[in-house]
Structure formats: C-alpha cells, structure tokens
Amino acid sequence: MIKLFHIFMLVLHFMHHSSSDDSVKSDCVVSPPPCTKSKYRSYDGTCNNLKKPLLGSSNTPYRRLLPANYGDGISSPPLSKSGQPLPLARYISTTVYPDIPLKDPIWTLNTMQWGQIITHDLALLKTTGSDTCCANDNSTKDEKCWPITIPPLDIMSLVSNTKCMSFLRTDTDRDGKCVEGNQPAEQINSVNHFLDLSIVYGISDESHKQLRENKGGRLIVEQRNDQDWPPHDPTNPTCLGKEKKEACYLAGDTRVNQNTQLTLLQVILLREHNRIADVLFKLNPHWDDETIFQEARKILIAQHQHISYYEMLHIFLGKKELVKEKIIYETEGFVNDYDENVDPAVLNEHSHAAFRYFHSLIAGHLKLVLESRLSFSKVRLSSWLNRPSILEEENNFDDLSRGLATQSEYLADAFHTSEITQFLFRGNNTFGKDLKATDIQRNRDHGLARYNDYREYCGLKRAKTFWDLLGSMSPLVVFKLSKIYKNVDDIDLSVGGSLENHAKPAMVGTTFLCIIKKQFYRTRVGDRFWFENGGETGFTLDQLKEIRKSSISRLLCDNSHNVKLMQPRGFEKISLINLPTSCNNLPAVNLTLWKDPVP
C-alpha cells in the first residue's frame, strides 16, 4: 500500500519563514497513507507523526529557515545584488580554502566519519540526468546541468585543459508538477528525514526486503576469510563493469561504497545488527524472524541515536549548549518530550551549508594501525573512492578500524585537503572534482538566502559593509571576501558561515551553530520513536539504561575481526586519561534484558 501511495503521491513545498513554531503547509497529496498502530517504525518514515503521516517521510521536500533566494524568484540560480553572476564557485574554493593540513589535537578521524554516517542517514539529494554533463565548451542542452566553470589560470585548466566540472541541479517539487505558478522550488530528500539507520535498513518496504536473510532476524552477508561482508550489488552504478571479486556492496544506502572509512562503519553497523539478532534468537527461540529483526533494528537505531547525540554531538556544538537547548538531557530516566507539532524534516540550510562545514575535518590519507597503536602504512583517500575492496585485503579492516580511533581528524577551519578539492573521484584522471566548489554551487542551486540574512536571523548584527564582519571573522578573511564579492550581501551562506570565528567550545561559528542546533532539536523532538521516549514504542527503563552504555569504541570492538584493545572514548585521541584497554573492560549492552518473560 505504501509503495503504491509513494508512486502516485504529489509533494507540496513548504514555506517556512520562522523557526519559532515550525509551522508548515499541508502536503500536496490526494490522501495520507493509512496508519496502523505499531511499536516499530516504517522504513520510509510515514506514520511517525500520526496526525500528519507524511511528515518526515522520504521523497518529501527539505524545509527552510528563511525564504528561498532564487534569481527569478522561482528556481534559477541567484544573482549578485548588481544583477550579475556571482563569483565562480571554483575560484572561491581555490582562493579561500587552501590545503594546509592542521591536525586536531583532541579528536580522532572517527568523529568526522560518524558525522558522515549521520549526514547520510538524514538526507540524500535527488538528481536526474547525466553526471557527465560538462562539455569542453562548458555548454549543454540538459536543463539539469549547471557546470562548475574552471577559471583560465586554475591549475586544472593549465595542466589538463579542464574547462568545467559536471554538476547536476537537484530535483524539486516543481519537477514533479506538484506546484505551479510562481511558487519557489523546494528540493526533494530521497530518504526519510529521521535518524533511523535507513543507510542500513533501506528507505522503503521494497528496498529493505532485498537486504533480509529472512532467517533469525538477520541481514544478508557474504562470508570471506572468516568475516561477514555486505552482499555484492551488481545494480549499483558505481559497480557497473566490476567483477564480483572487486567488492561493491549492497546496503540500505546507495553511497555505501563512496569512501573507505564510510564503508567500514557501514560494515560495522551491519555486523552489529546480526550480532544483536543472534543473541536475541538464543534468548527467545520462540520469536519469529520478523520479531527478532525488528527488535534488533530497534536496539541498533537506539545505539546509533545515543552515540550520535550523547557521545559525538557535544564535540561539534558543546555539551552545555546542547543541554541548554534541550537537545540532550542529563537524566537517567525517560525524556518523553515528543511533540507532534515539531516538524522533523531536514533543513536545507543545515544539510547543504552548515553541516558541510565539517568537510574541513577530512584527512587525505588514512592510517593503518597495529594493535600496538603504531601506524605502519597509509592509504590515499582519492585512490580508493568507490573501491571498498581494500577493506578485504589482509588485515586492512582491523588496521583501518584502529586508524579511525587513533588518527587525528583535521581542524575545523577554512583549510581543505587537496584530496577533496583537486582529486575527488578522479579515477584514472589527473584531477577529479572539487567538493568545496560543489558545496558552494549546491548552496546556489538550492537558492539559499544570503549569509547576511542568516547572520541577522541568528542574532548577529547585519553587516552593511565588509568591515562590519570584523567582529566575527579575521581581518585577512574579511579582506579576501571584499576582493571576491562586490557587495557584502552577495556572500554565500556556505562561504560566510564557514569563515566565522568559532563560538567556543563549539567547532563552528555563531551562524552555523544556530542552524545546526535547530536541526538536531527537531530531529529528536519530532521523532515519535526516539529511543528515550517511554511507552509502547520505547524500551523499559532498565533496557534504556543498557542502551546508554553504547559507545563507538564498543561498536568497533564487537564487530572487528581481531581488535582487542580500544580506548574508552573512541572519538577522543589516546592520552593518559584515555588509554587503550581490553575490549572486555568496556561497558556493553546487556541484551539478556530483552529475554521474553513469557515464552
């Protein structure tokens, strides 16, 4: 029923001018899907909100904090205040975001990588068209293609005569003919908007079925070298032309093969589901496959939510700020503050500007680390994009797992590794794509309001001249912006927000902190199935206390092949107060509390 509904449903864009009440207009649909009472979530996010069954479901629009800023007021890319095109995204990338590898002294690469797990769980752009839409003359007939122009004196142009990079505009509700007239276009999120591990379980009833073993509540795996791996996916575009021996995995998310450490964590989560399912099967042999599967899924989602909010998020935003804004609570009991009037949908500004700031944390080379914590080799990031087979070579999975918890992430700053600004997805070519230029172009593609608008929205004084930014940015940064943009009101959100001085102890400036806080509040409070809520959809209090023992360190220990030691706080670097210890010494979730008292 849900499948048929989603095939024929039409989606209405939502105008959101204020974050105070998160009010939105109704969906453009014939009728909402029928909702049956269940203690388990749907895969597509429908019926999480029983009053508004489509709220937060897949294939619905992102929301906005401020109205769109399209050039024509409807869908065309924005223009400068003078009516001229904005500065080239690639020029801004190479001018403002150089490769200066400054390492974070406290936090590990685990932190950055778990951030991508959260990002992929919450959002996926929907694009249609050819990804090779960039011709040498920088022209195309594809209306979805909006190439990123390479300046004449750019190193890509000088060395390889590259004129542009492919860029496809995101699909919107106007493409689906849901809105007419002059209503501004709203981009579509292909996955549901909840933090529910859709990257593991799929985004629909149909997609999740191909992941199920249909026995013992397990997900399908393939065994090689005494280890479990995701099944091969011959239909994934990144797998086309690859032999089965060249690993290309099937998971709940099509981006599973994108980069080595992302894939590693996806494998960890897959194995953790099956580990939990195996224990539940032994505890409750009378349970059928579906019950075991759903209970294991519910537990793993809860672990994911706990690790994300209580172990990782404070690193980005600061713990006091999270408690103050009621994003997390300091309690041993239930939280129970679900609000059906809070829209959980992902904010366009968060997903396509603010949270992308953390691309600066990416390291260009990944360390392989022994049990002694000595690094003996490293892997170049761009050499193994969409090539996860490296994980199955020798002891690489364990060595890279230790590397995640040992290697420093890069500092949250304006500097980006060349692996993502010059060589991203390069394949056999000299150069690849530029992630920072792509972020700026995507900001414009989505018609996000100007940085100055969000600056004012988030409580900072609106800048009338470039020099009014000095309280928020360094003099050098302000000088660069004044040379790139003609008017202070032209500055893109993804640029201005990324250059603000940090609002310590947060790792972001005031504007991005404001946006990200709003997102993670609505993600939690707008989720009826949030793990800290009691009642039929939740856990018993004793079970909840066990869930709160979850940690990234224990997750790596339990699902690697031969990792025996791990520091208690896996997002934090090893130190005298965070020394590696036996995995058996780390707190673990006691699953015996899920034993059915009445077989």
Work out the average pLDDT over 576-583.
98
8 pLDDT higher than 80: no
Q: Which residues of 120-140 are buried (b: 16+ CB within 10 A; e: fewer)?
A: bbbbbbbbeeeeebbeeeeeb
Q: The tokens of 288 are what?
A: 């059928």
Nearest alpha-carbon partner for 292 in 194, 228, 212, 196: 212
Contact 54, 194 (CB under 8 A): no
- Residue 309, CA distances (Å) to 20, 189, 326, 444 in order: 22, 22, 11, 30
Q: The tokens of 118 are what?
A: 């959260």
What's the confidence (pLDDT) of residue 122? 98
301 pLDDT higher than 80: yes
The DSSP call for residue 353 is: I
Annotated ligand binding at 359? The verdict is yes
- Give percent of the chain with pLDDT exceeding 70: 92
132 pLDDT higher than 80: no
Nearest alpha-carbon partner for 522 in 327, 370, 278: 327
7 pLDDT higher than 50: no
Nearest alpha-carbon partner for 496 in 479, 473, 515, 471: 473
359 confidence band (pLDDT: 50, 70, 90):
very high
Work out the average pLDDT over 344-353.
98
Q: Of residues 556 and 25, which shows the higher confidence score?
A: 556
What's the confidence (pLDDT) of residue 14? 33
143 confidence band (pLDDT: 50, 70, 90):
confident
31 pLDDT higher than 90: no
Q: What whole-number distance in Å separates Cα of residue 33 and Cα of residue 35?
A: 6
576 confidence band (pLDDT: 50, 70, 90):
very high
CB burial class (10 A; 0-12, 13-18, 19+) of residue 35? middle
Q: Of residues 72 and 427, which shows the higher confidence score?
A: 72
CATH says 2-127+169-594 is which class?
mainly alpha
Q: Give kind and range of the element (H or E) at residue 504.
A: none
Q: The tokens of 281 are what?
A: 């099967």
141 pLDDT higher than 80: no
4 confidence band (pLDDT: 50, 70, 90):
very low
pLDDT digit string, tens, across residues 273-297:
999 999 999 999 999 999 999 999 9
What's the confidence (pLDDT) of residue 22? 34
What's the confidence (pLDDT) of residue 98? 97
Give the number of residues written for the chain: 599
130 confidence band (pLDDT: 50, 70, 90):
confident
| Helices 109-122 + 396-404 axis angle, to 10 | 100
- Residue 181, Ramachandran bin (φ over 0: left; ψ between -120 and 50: alpha; else beta): left
What's the confidence (pLDDT) of residue 235? 79
- Confidence (pTM): 0.93
What's the confidence (pLDDT) of residue 243? 58
Q: The tokens of 284 are what?
A: 């409750």
The DSSP call for residue 380 is: E
Work out the average pLDDT over 25-51.
81
Q: Which has the minimum average pLDDT: 13-27, 259-273, 440-454?
A: 13-27
Q: What whole-number distance in Å separates Cα of residue 18 and Cα of residue 95?
A: 34
120 catalytically annotated: yes
Q: What whole-number distance in Å separates Cα of residue 237 and Cα of residue 257?
A: 11
Contact 504, 554 (CB under 8 A): no
Torsion of CA 364, 190, 314, 469, to 10 degrees: 80
pLDDT digit string, tens, across residues 521-547:
999 999 999 999 999 999 999 999 999
Q: What whole-number distance in Å separates Cα of residue 15 and Cα of residue 12?
A: 10
Q: Where are the domains of the chain?
A: 2-127+169-594, 128-166
pLDDT digit string, tens, across residues 361-409:
999 999 999 999 999 999 999 999 999 999 999 999 999 999 999 999 9
Q: The tokens of 238 are what?
A: 């990144």
What's the confidence (pLDDT) of residue 310? 98
Q: H helices within 146-241, ranges in order?
A: 155-160, 198-201, 205-209
20 pLDDT higher than 50: no
Helix, strand, coil content of the chain in percent (nearest 5): 35, 10, 55
Name the active-site residue from 6, 120, 306, 350: 120
pLDDT digit string, tens, across residues 452-503:
999 999 999 999 999 999 999 999 999 999 999 999 999 999 999 999 999 9
Nearest alpha-carbon partner for 68 in 193, 191, 183, 189: 183
565 pLDDT higher than 50: yes
pLDDT digit string, tens, across residues 82-125:
999 999 999 999 999 999 999 999 999 999 999 999 999 999 99
pLDDT digit string, tens, across residues 175-232:
877 887 899 999 999 999 999 999 999 999 999 999 999 999 999 999 999 999 999 9
